[in-house]
Amino acid sequence: MLCVLFHAVNQCDDSGFVNFPSTSLNCRRNLTSTSTNLSQIKAKESPRMSSLKSGIEVKSNESGIINNSDDSNGMIRHEISTKGKRSTNIVWHKCSVEKIDRQELLQQKGCVIWITGLSGSGKSTLACALTRALHSQGKLTYVLDGDNVRHGLNRDLTFKPEDRAENIRRIGEVAKLFSDAGIICIASVISPYRKDRDAIRSLLPDGDFIEVFMDMPLRICEARDPKGLYKLARAGKIKGFTGVDDPYEPPLNSEIVLEYEGDVCPSPEVMADKVICYLDAKGYLRA
């Protein structure tokens, strides 16, 4: 066997297995039996190699029991479910440095500015103008943009109603963490349903959720259509698009409402100033 490997050391295929020459070799075992044995080894090893390349697939079931099974490629699939299950053996671990300490360090109060409105209403534009203005005043902010978050944290979510709700829930939980860190968090998300926005409000202390409603007419948003989404929705190429074939539920009691003044839309800087005036009046720009 050793002489076979010695003569064939430079004759490997792409998978790392030896290609044996057709000439006979002076070994105790003949080439046919050796090739047969190695073919059997290769057949056993190939599924392992493919499983290493593909990784382990995790599936959910209703029982919450881990199921292991082999698929046609020999890959072991681990099935585990956490659906409807929540950990019960956990406790909240408090730290001696708390929100008030972080706010004192930053000389500001943490909060969540939740900008909601139709696609094309100017949410992201306002968020950028607002963070720029606050940054120039020495205030620490962070923007959670609805599209940006779907590139990473929420990239596994679709636009089905249940996924849209989960999208808002995750953004809300992250925004809460930023607020607890003493940061002024600016979330710009369509968030069309009141119950989802109200659920995020309930996560935060009273006053720390500041809802900003971009009350722009649908005709204006559709005329802007910066991403071409309204056009696709009207053509039937996008289903469940907010404002076209899916409802937007306007807020009933927003802290701040920004809207057209006559036939003129205020500039992003003017709208940002209105939000900053609110923050200043409520004491969020000082510790």
* CA 138 remoteness from chain centre: 29
Q: What gap in Å lies between CA 253 and CA 28, rounded to an integer?
A: 89
C-alpha closest to that of 110 among 204, 250, 245, 220: 204
233 in Cβ contact with 245 (< 8 Å): yes
Find the DSSP H helices in the chain: 2-7, 31-54, 99-106, 123-136, 146-149, 161-180, 194-203, 218-224, 229-234, 268-281
The CB density around residue 139, as the number of other CB atoms within 10 Å, is 19
Q: Which residues are catalytic?
A: 191
- The pair of structure tokens assigned to 125 is 């534009």
Kindly state the tokens that stand for 11.
Answer: 């004759």
DSSP code per residue over 5-34: HHHTTT-B-TTS-B---SS--SSSS-HHHH
The dihedral built from the CA positions of residue 186, 255, 197 and 242, taken in this order, carries a sign that is negative
SS3 content of the chain, % helix, strand, coil (to 5): 40, 15, 45
What is the distance between the alpha carbons of residues 284 and 134, in angstroms, rounded to a whole number? 11
